[in-house]
Chains A and B, each alone.
Chain A
């Protein structure tokens, strides 16, 4: 459980909240590059950390992320015209460049310099690995650009998607480090989903639904090790990485790609669930990419023209009780991503953690909260840069491997837990 004030502290991410300010220490994924494919393309509405913004790409290809509303009379610039190196308000023609600087106010004499006195809040937006990253913190504190491995491998080796999730970021993120649910909620998919099936790891998973967990602090967050018995008295380990504030990387399976998530607050009751798949040493195959686009693995199918999952709260996630009864799915919801999202959203927009009854196997969640609260205090009281900002904390990998029984997994998997270009992942 958490006390109410702790729950409020961690779940509130607006611009005037402690957690919101800490979130603004990081480069966060804001858009897929494909949403702004070329100069002068249509602008995109973006809501992040409880701020309404509009993203656009100007004639020269530069990215802009600015206050959504025109400084004149508060019209949404999403209705604007993206033309000639600026976004022009459709109402009276005020025009803004990618920095939010007003460059033209048609009703005022050009020589008056009035336009120079108008500037909308803007944030840097950069492309890296097929994702547009935003930094929403103080200009003078901008950290180095992100170095997550999935955005540093060649484009042919990586795939990312995002989906709208109707709950607070924290309960969604906590689902990502709650390793003990996999053997239950996802058991029907391990041997059928094209992005999971065929790995020896699945047999370990399915033959032992009660793994033993070990949780260890890492420089950027946590290592969460799930241990199962393997042959010859050894242990089979699946090691998940959590890097603050909301990055996870799930242990790989066989020769499949590695995958994981970011959970980024839209506002306090909605978040973006980002999902990535990549392979450090090979291209993703057309079959794999087709499956990802078709919503397999940790990805979803969408309501056409949106990033809202096709299975959503309005249609009870298309729950199939017959499939549930037949054991094809454990919860009746199809697909790993929506199995997670349906249950996380069912907790309510912001779950009341004063009422929960955690157990010992929830230590990954407990320690993540502990680390977030500790980092939040250090950041708020002393301005200490939180873990996960340093690119060194981002060059990590999850791992799956078999180790002797007395070896700390952090020692046995020391090399495997670091991202190294052109080195294959440790996977079983």
Chain B
């Protein structure tokens, strides 16, 4: 069906190289979401958590430097929950800005959260995010990653 007739005439060669996506949990609400995501097997994504405003750690427990992680990324996804605990957003965001790396802010756990708590996190993410997503369910992150070929 899908353009079977038409697809015959389309160039079939690959049209892109893999992109490196770094997914970073910025707070305790985001951590289990990112941990779950990391366990589902992605080819081009790696998963980290911000243990201090200027320190990242991978899920093997290794400390990672923000400049290094950002410099090897095509896209950085900053995941945070309501409550304004996304303090690392500014250091990571500044590093991305310096290296012109695309950033997406992703708010999880917002369904039952007061708007004032969502606002606190938005205020932290917005200055550093070129795209902000507030999804009704956390599984959207999976679909987004798939859509972005992570």
Q: Are A363 and B144 in contact (CB under 8 A)?
A: yes
Q: Tell whether A1 is near chain B: CB-to-CB under 8 Å.
A: yes
Interface residues on A, range: 35 or more
Decide yes or no: A350 and B2 within 8 Å by CB, A360-B148, A406-B122, A407-B119 being known contacts. Answer: yes
A405 to B120, CA, bound (A): 11
Which B residue's beta carbon lies closest to that of A370? Answer: B143
Q: Please indicate which of the listed interface residues A268, A349, A359 has the most CB atoms of chain B within 10 Å of its own CB.
A: A359
Provide the bound-state CA to CA distance between A369 and B144, in Å: 10
Interface of B is mostly: mixed
Residue of A with least CB distance to B11: A355
**Per-residue B-contact encoding for A96-116, CB less than 8 Å = 1, 0 else:** 000000000000000000000
The B-contacting residues of A in range 1-51, CB under 8 angstroms, are 1-2, 4, 7-8, 11-12
A359 contacts B102, CB within 8 Å? yes
Write the B25-55 contact mask toward A (1 if CB under 8 angstroms, else 0). 0000000000000000000000000000000
**Contact between chains at B146 and A406 (CB < 8 Å):** no
A271–B61 Cα gap in the complex (Å)?
A: 53
Complex Cα–Cα for A348 and B1 (A): 12
State A234–B133 Cα separation when bound (angstroms): 20
Complex-state Cα separation, A359 to B131, whole angstroms: 10
Q: How far is the CB of A216 from chain B (nearest CB, A)?
A: 4
B72 within 8 A of A: no
User: Does the CB pair A268–B148 fall under 8 Å?
Assistant: no
User: Complex: how many Å from CA A411 to CA B123?
Assistant: 14
A4 to B1, CA, bound (A): 10
A408 touches B122 (CB 8 A): yes
Residues of A near B2 (CB, < 8 A) are 4, 7-8, 11, 350, 352
By the criterion CB–CB under 8 Å, are A2 and B147 in contact?
yes
**Min C-beta distance of A130 to chain B, whole Å:** 34
User: Contacts A217-B135, A352-B3 known; A408 to B75 CB distance under 8 Å?
Assistant: no
Within B91-150, the residues touching A (CB, 8 Å) are 102-104, 115, 118-120, 122-123, 126, 129-136, 140, 143-144, 146-149
Cα separation A369 to B135 with both chains bound (whole Å) = 13
A370 and B140: CB pair below 8 A? Answer: yes
Q: A1-B149, A366-B147 are in contact. Are A355 and B15 (CB under 8 A)?
A: yes
Task: Please list the 6 inter-chain residue pairs (A to B) with the smallest Cβ-Cβ separation, ordered nearest first.
Answer: A217-B136, A406-B123, A214-B132, A366-B147, A216-B134, A360-B131
Q: Which residues of A contact B (CB under 8 A)?
A: 1-2, 4, 7-8, 11-12, 212-217, 268, 348-352, 355, 357-363, 366-367, 369-370, 373, 405-408, 410-411
